Amino acid sequence: MSFLKINNLSVDYKMRRETVYAAKNINIEVSKGEILGLVGESGSGKSTVGNAIINLIDEPGKVSNGSIHLGEVNIHKDPENIVKYRGKKIGLIFQDPQTSLNPIFTIGEQLIETIQTHLNLSTIEAKNKAINLLKEVGIKDAEIRFDNYPHQFSGGMRQRVVISLALCCEPELLIADEPTTALDVSIQSQILDLIKRLTKERNLAVILITHDMGVIAETTDRVAVMKNGNLVEIGPTKEILTKPKEIYTKSLVSSVPPTNKKIERFKIIEKENKSQSESNIKILNRWTKKEIVNQDLVQVKNLSKTFDDNFFTENTKNSVMAVDDVSFDIKEGQSFGLVGESGSGKSTIAKMIVNLFRPSSGDIYFDNVCITKIKNNKEMLKFRKQIQMIFQDPYSSLNGRLKVKDIVAEPIKLHNPSITSKDIDSYIYDLLESVELTQQSAERYPHEFSGGQRQRISIARALATQPRLLVCDEPTSALDVSIQAQILNLLKDLQEQLNLTILFISHDLPVVRQMCDKIAVLKNGQLCEVTNTEDLFIKPSHEYTKELLRLMPKIESIYS
């Protein structure tokens, strides 16, 4: 007997130019004691469905059709009434634990307030209940922590508090909207275990909204796949992931990087760009290709970086050690992976290699020249040309006021001042076509492109100086999984054709496994181990690496 029934739900956003149908005739049922995964890429309408259940759709959107039954009650019949269900019968967990708790109240005050709003309890009773809840979600010393403020909890602990807030009025339905996306892998698995445990113990109906197929595979009983507001497929998780019926689901499953093996290329079933041209890297004609010499292109020696968090005092007491005595070498033509959780110092190392930061101590050698000691700007420019970087956020990495043409032309003009304007245009077209964009893109502004296309523009800009080393700082973590597969394929092709050396930084182990020959694992600014990729995944030697590998969500877990 299903507990939550969504019938023909449609949500429209009336925009200035057109009406956006964020959800179209969605039919979903969830039973008690069951976790339903709602999966889809950004803009697929998965969060819209979650918000529509509790009637939290932002203006100008509105529920245009359909009904939602909770048990026997149609909760959308009387929109004023929904407040009674929100929090009481339906618990909510949001993505960011930083913003879903009020920073100026202790968590105890927030719990008691929520409990007393919905249940008729005295303050003492409410307090006891709150402490029991905190214990239930796994917070140690709940009596003491009760009086702490949200900032005194770590990200994972805060998400536990959010879960206890969602549970405090004995809800029967729990909606978790990307509950672990903002968290590190090790904490993610704890939170997911907690949700699984609570579902069984309290006999909850749970809707878990996520974009991560690994999370879906490990946590959910059934899964609903959404695309552009449509429900593509719904069914038991195992069936959907192993024998998908629809083309879209197939392409989604095939673009997830496998955790247990290395594959040559990702199979692309649906392409973002229509042109089905087989990787023609036009830029090759212009590229002064360097033969790969068997030598270390980059040598990092005892690199350290501290950040002083206090502006006025110069004592080292308050300083944060972001990178602590790290050494590794990258061979020419190699893909080198740098893996770690947030705060492990991996981006700081990248920024020191591209010379955005100066190291506090230690040296970086590029092609046997120490680049950290160069003072002269002209001298520096020679190395700038050879080391380029691709950034994580495709939205802030392109200047929105410039046309794509001008963005790509900037490095070309700077490093070849004598180039004619006609030659620049053909150079730009070659670059754009090498990253599988059309020539027409040159005349447009960045905001007209999707995240994946922007990342391609970013790559074209980086290639414009003909670098030997490409530093990729989480190049795909802001992208949907199918786009990620395309970008990773592109990077692989480029590396092969252009003899690039790549430093690939990521927190995503499966992705690193597909991309890299050698991997360095970082924790709190220190190097844990550096080994060949296959060795790392088959027989990790460091405790921390073992832990990371054990905890990463594996899509393959569904097969066993």
Partner 1 sequence: MDNKKLSWFGRVKDSDIYYSFIKSPTAIVSAVLLIIIFFCSFFVEFVVPYNPFDPSSLSLMDAFTPPSWTEDGLAKFILGTDGQGRDMLSTILYGSRISLIVGFSAIIFSLLLGVSLGLTAGYFGGKYEMIIMRLTDVQLTVPSILMALLVDGIARGIISREMHDEMAIYVLIFAIGISEWPQFARVSRAATLVEKNKDYVSASTIIGVSNILIMFKHILPNIMRPVLVIGTIGLALAILAESTLSFLGVGVPPTTPSLGTLIRLGNDFLFSGEWWITFFPAIFLVILAFSINLLGDWMRDTLNPKLN
Considering the complex, what minimum distance in angstroms separates the CB of residue 556 from partner 1? 34
Determine if 465 is a binding residue for partner 1 (CB under 8 A).
Answer: yes
Question: Which range in 137-145, 264-272, 406-414, 507-515 contacts partner 1 by CB under 8 A?
Answer: 406-414
Among 74, 98, 361, 396, binds partner 1 (CB under 8 A): 396
Residue 154: Cβ-neighbour burial (10 angstroms; 0-12, 13-18, 19+)? exposed
Residue 108: Cβ-neighbour burial (10 angstroms; 0-12, 13-18, 19+)? buried
Q: Which two tokens stand for residue 433?
A: 């076509």
Binders of partner 1: how many residues, by CB under 8 A? 35
Considering the complex, what minimum distance in angstroms separates the CB of residue 399 from partner 1? 4
Q: Is the dihedral of CA 83, 87, 91, 95 positive or negative?
A: positive
Determine if 364 is a binding residue for partner 1 (CB under 8 A).
Answer: no
Among 73, 83, 370, 381, binds partner 1 (CB under 8 A): 381
Among 102, 123, 260, 440, binds partner 1 (CB under 8 A): 440
Among 154, 242, 313, 399, binds partner 1 (CB under 8 A): 399
Backbone φ and ψ of 91, nearest 5°:
-100, 150
Determine if 458 is a binding residue for partner 1 (CB under 8 A).
Answer: yes
Determine if 503 is a binding residue for partner 1 (CB under 8 A).
Answer: no
In the bound state with partner 1, the residue whose beta carbon lies nearer, of 152 and 399, is 399
Determine if 511 is a binding residue for partner 1 (CB under 8 A).
Answer: no
Determine if 439 is a binding residue for partner 1 (CB under 8 A).
Answer: no
Contact 97, 179 (CB under 8 A): no
Determine if 443 is a binding residue for partner 1 (CB under 8 A).
Answer: yes
Report the alpha-carbon angle 301-305-306, nearest 5: 155
Q: Is the dihedral of CA 163, 344, 348, 391 positive or negative?
A: negative
What residues from 8 to 37 belong to the interface with partner 1 (CB under 8 A)? 16
Residues ≥6 apart with Cβ < 8 Å to 508: 257, 476, 477
CA 182/CA 265 separation, integer angstroms: 28
In the bound state with partner 1, the residue whose beta carbon lies nearer, of 175 and 471, is 471
Determine if 379 is a binding residue for partner 1 (CB under 8 A).
Answer: no
Question: Which range in 29-37, 190-198, 216-224, 442-450 contacts partner 1 by CB under 8 A?
Answer: 442-450
In the bound state with partner 1, the residue whose beta carbon lies nearer, of 240 and 470, is 470
CA 162/CA 182 separation, integer angstroms: 14
**Residue in 332, 228, 255 with CA at minimum distance from that of residue 290:** 332
Taking phi first (over 0 means left), then psi (-120 to 50 degrees means alpha), and beta for anything else, what does residue 452 get? alpha
Question: Which range in 284-292, 329-337, 365-373, 383-391 contacts partner 1 by CB under 8 A?
Answer: 383-391
Contact 52, 23 (CB under 8 A): yes
CA 362/CA 305 separation, integer angstroms: 9
Pairing of strands 387-390, 173-177: unpaired
In the bound state with partner 1, the residue whose beta carbon lies nearer, of 318 and 440, is 440
Among 189, 210, 397, 501, binds partner 1 (CB under 8 A): 397
Considering the complex, what minimum distance in angstroms separates the CB of residue 253 from partner 1? 29
Considering the complex, what minimum distance in angstroms separates the CB of residue 415 from partner 1? 7
Considering the complex, what minimum distance in angstroms separates the CB of residue 493 from partner 1? 22
Determine if 388 is a binding residue for partner 1 (CB under 8 A).
Answer: yes
Strand segments (E) across 245-391? 296-308, 319-331, 335-339, 361-366, 369-370, 387-390
Question: Which range in 200-208, 267-275, 312-320, 391-399 contacts partner 1 by CB under 8 A?
Answer: 391-399
5, β-bridge pairs: 29, 69
Contact 97, 110 (CB under 8 A): no
What residues from 327 to 356 belong to the interface with partner 1 (CB under 8 A)? 351, 354-356
Determine if 400 is a binding residue for partner 1 (CB under 8 A).
Answer: yes
The site for partner 1 (CB under 8 A) is made up of 16, 351, 354-356, 380-381, 384-385, 387-389, 391-393, 396-402, 410-411, 414-415, 440, 443-444, 448, 458, 461-462, 464-465
